[in-house]
Amino acid sequence: MTKATSMPIIQVRDLLKSYGSVHAIKGLTFAVGKGQVVGFLGPNGAGKSTTMKILTGYLQPTSGTAQILGIDVMRHSIEARKHIGYLPENNPLYEEMMVMEYLEFVAQMRQIPKSKRRMMIEKAIHECGLGPVVGKDIGVLSKGYCQRVGFAQAIVHEPQLLILDEPTSGLDPNQIIEIRSLIKKLGKEKTVLMSTHILSEAQSTCSRILIIHDGKLVADDTPLQLTQQEGGIIYVVVAPKQGEKLSKKQVLEQLASIFGVTKVEPINEYQDHGVAMMVGYDKEDPRADIFQKIVSANWILLEMRRKEITLEETFRRLTKE
């Protein structure tokens, strides 16, 4: 057997998980390659956490397979777990322990040899910026620091794969930014699979996004592709020349006749001089044609801009009902 360098870090095939008659995951297949930072999105109850728990070896799937670095997480669970660092949802920690005590315990449980333990703990402390709190009880730490302790315990054994279940939930905006930059830093050396509800976070942190809905994969692409692939909306304001008149109907007819435009809607709230329209299109960007049309109709183009499709909109469209 050759160990190809292209071997995926995560390989999931037809994964299925049911709790009694409820199907949490309905046949999930995906692979994550080395060095990717993958955002795992989906509404609550879509099966994100369940998938992550199966990957980490905590839960048994009903059927299908999951492999970490080619190691089956069910048949060789212990071996597979050694390569994973996991930050569970809500980041449960032993509150009565000191940060240092806790990291020592984790290092022991992670079977780090005694000679290297001190060094690797120091490294994790340094990387997560825990220096000022190593001697404190975990129970008295702020949420931001608790999250860093969660990160430190996940990376202390230097795993190749980090699985982070909502790493920024419940943090304040400053802490969120700190944690995100930590994820980016860690993502340079490790493969990261993180779930989140903050779509802008996935957009800015991840190189790839998986969206699951109702236990099935509904999208798998780069953030850029996900926000560009299907058409968009252009905002246009047209005004008549001096002394002339312009009705909404005229503009609407002209714009609707452009190839590729799917719908035109007047914006009634527009207060200034002129007529404002929203132009929807499905494939090619029609801005050049809109400009030509307006010039040849002898009107004045006051404003034209493309409304960016946000990941939110893609997410809403893919995970509706």
Query: Which positions touch another protein (CB under 8 A)?
Result: 53, 56-60, 78-79, 81-82, 84, 86, 88, 90, 92-97, 101, 105-106, 108-111, 153
210/318 Cα distance (integer angstroms): 11
- 157 or 213: CB nearest another protein: 157
Beta strands in 199-271 (DSSP E): 208-213, 216-221, 232-239, 261-266
230/212 Cα distance (integer angstroms): 19
Report whether 254 contacts 293 (CB < 8 A): yes
Measured from the CB of residue 32, what is the shortest distance to another protein in angstroms?
19
- 19 or 270: CB nearest another protein: 19
- 2 or 111: CB nearest another protein: 111
Measured from the CB of residue 102, what is the shortest distance to another protein in angstroms?
9
- 99 or 211: CB nearest another protein: 99
Measured from the CB of residue 119, what is the shortest distance to another protein in angstroms?
19
Measured from the CB of residue 101, what is the shortest distance to another protein in angstroms?
7
Which pair of tokens denotes residue 219? Answer: 């999208």
Cα dist from 282 to 2, 252, 254, whole Å: 46, 18, 18
Measured from the CB of residue 2, what is the shortest distance to another protein in angstroms?
26
Which pair of tokens denotes residue 187? Answer: 């993502």
- 151 or 299: CB nearest another protein: 151
Q: Strand, helix or coil at 306?
A: strand
301/123 Cα distance (integer angstroms): 59
Which pair of tokens denotes residue 236? Answer: 């246009």
Measured from the CB of residue 21, what is the shortest distance to another protein in angstroms?
15
Measured from the CB of residue 137, what is the shortest distance to another protein in angstroms?
9
- 138 or 219: CB nearest another protein: 138
> Which of the 8 DSSP states describes residue 308?
P
Which pair of tokens denotes residue 23? Answer: 């199907």
- 133 or 163: CB nearest another protein: 163
Report whether 85 contacts 159 (CB < 8 A): yes
State the residue for tokens 């839960």: 59
Hey, how many other C-beta atoms are within 10 angstroms of the C-beta on 177? 13
Report whether 318 contacts 210 (CB < 8 A): no
